[in-house]
Structure 1
Amino acid sequence: MLEVLEEQLVEYQGTLIIVSHDREFLDNVVTSVLVFEEDGKIEEYIGGYSDWVKRGKHLKIADTLDHPSGHLVDHETTSTAAAKKPAVKLSYKFQRELDSLPGLIDQLEQDIALLEEQTADPDFFNRPFTETQPVLDQLAEKQQALDAAAERWVELEEMKG
């Protein structure tokens, strides 16, 4: 049942705020984590809980807490031990996004090449503004999209380790 929920959340295109104690579930469905820092500020970190821990972060919880078993639990040590686990594979959502980026980047590069061919025509800038400006705007948009896609690809590859 949890896998079905994860798949539905991954497919959802809107924005959700998810609160869960299940760290693996969060790693599988979230794209960023909001963390209340010691100074009272809320910081956003790209990736899931494990990605946040890989950055050397850990929960700031009281050093000891009464456990139902009657034993004292050191949460700092527990979270630090979790940080030392081997790298975890990307969540389903991030892996799908990473897999789609090379195709998107390739398509954007092809679109840019076609637009640059148009602007390279010696008579291009002799045409009316109403003809040239849309091409230049489209070229700028495609270049911006390409830059964003390349940055995201690098970011996801770094997360992957």
Structure 2
Amino acid sequence: MRKSAMWGEPSAKCLAALVLAAVLSACGEKAEDTAMAQQAGVIEGTVLYRERMMLPPDAQLDIQLEDVSRADAPATVLATVTQPTATAPPWPFRITYDPEELGSRHRYGLRATVSHNGRLLFTSDTFVDAFAQQAPEIVLVRVPGKPDP
């Protein structure tokens, strides 16, 4: 059986072209993944409190990204994440937001609270700039009140 020059053994150029095409298509997928990741902004940090006490096992931690630019109005919540506090602090968090909602002249802060059965136990009481540091740390303070029965 005779092989034609056109349909015979693959040439080195043909193999090189196939390898190059495979590499370029893989790069295209990476670029798409990167573009998708850039569409949603992510802030990762930790939340903790300094009191030496354990929380009820079903307490929950809420972290909010807020636009605090206007002094004469309540903060606008841009993103929220809720997670359990089953372990002792510090608690890592990851909050995603839409970068399209951010204004270049606005100021953004992170706020956190811990509650149990609708009762606020801990809250953040100082401003934490959402974008000033790589991994923001939110320190909570205990909210005064009578203990749970």
TM-score (norm 2): 0.28
More strand by share: 2
RCO higher in structure (CA 8 A, sep ≥6)? 2
More helix by share: 1
